[in-house]
Amino acid sequence: MLEFKNVSYGWDERHFLQNNLNLKFEERKIYVILGPNGCGKSTFIQLLQNRNVFYKGEILLNQKNLNTFSVNQIARNLICVGQNNDQCINMKVLDFIVTGFYPYLNIFQSPADKHLNEAMRIMESLKIEEWSNRTIATLSGGEFKQVLLARCLTGSRKIILLDELELALDYANQIKFTRTVRQLQESGKCIILISHNPNLALALKSQVLMFGKDLPYLFGDSEGIVTRENLRKYFNIEVIETCNEEHGLVQFVPQ
């Protein structure tokens, strides 16, 4: 579905954030990107959107070079929830979620009743339908994150990119978030999400792409990548490993 062949990317040809990436992202899998601030995690997401990030190497989407896709074609294949959506603050929640269908419309089309109905169905599934007529500006940070997740569920895209979406969610909504991500995986989606919480990768039993500064990237199962040694090396932090005996779930806490 999505493949990186010897890709290096960064600000320009003299300032690469990450080097020589050889990666494959597949359907029905969750990938969590971990790493310290400034190592290129959010830039990686921008790279997938073909947003003027300098890189060398080859990125293939459905076995075609990403450079051959138009902006609209990319938007039909993947959707991204980023950290900056200031331009939508005066929109109603329902109207904002419906914008997720825009790449599937031609220039002369407007959203139809079927799009509004599907957006409402998505909101109902996340139990946020009562927000439909509120403006984005009236939402708390955690509420807006849930609306962003709802927008991700529009259309028929196979790849969903989530940039720190779990931040600002309260405990109950963090649980709802992880359940929704698992449901998306089970439905055949490829989910690539950036997080600052290595325990999330362990809880999701995901694949992990771990970046560091001036360190080789790590890519593989969360159990093999999220270890005490790697957290010390890549984040410069000492942690304690704990384990829930009933569920066998390993977690890390700062020492």
Is residue 242 a part of any domain in this protein? no
* Residue 199 in domain: yes
What residues make up the domain containing 52? 2-222
In a domain, 189, yes or no: yes
CATH code at position 68: 3.40.50.300
Asked, for residue 141, whether it belongs to a domain, the answer is yes
Asked whether residue 8 is assigned to any structural domain, the reply reads: yes
Beta carbons of 86 and 124 less than 8 angstroms apart: no
Tokens 């980023």 -> residue: 82
Return the number of other C-beta atoms located less than 10 Å from residue 48's C-beta: 21
Does residue 255 belong to any structural domain of this protein? no
Within 8 A by CB and 6+ apart from 106, the residues are none
Token pair recorded at residue 58: 């080859």
How many folded domains does the chain comprise? 1
Least Cα distance to 237 among 33, 21, 34 occurs for 34
Identify whether 26 is part of a domain.
yes
pTM for the complete prediction?
0.92
Which residue is listed with tokens 């990107």?
A: 33
Look at residue 167 and tell me if it is in a domain.
Answer: yes
Q: Rounded to whole angstroms, how far apart are CA atoms 210 and 227?
A: 11
Rg (the chain; Cα; Å): 19
**pLDDT by 10s per residue, the chain, length 255:** 899 999 999 988 888 999 999 999 999 999 999 999 999 999 999 999 887 899 999 999 999 999 999 989 999 999 988 655 556 888 999 999 999 999 999 888 999 999 999 999 999 999 999 999 999 999 998 899 899 999 999 999 999 999 988 887 888 988 888 999 999 999 999 999 999 999 999 999 999 999 999 999 999 999 999 999 999 999 999 999 888 766 667 888 888
CA dihedral of residues 93, 98, 102, 106 (deg, nearest 10): -130
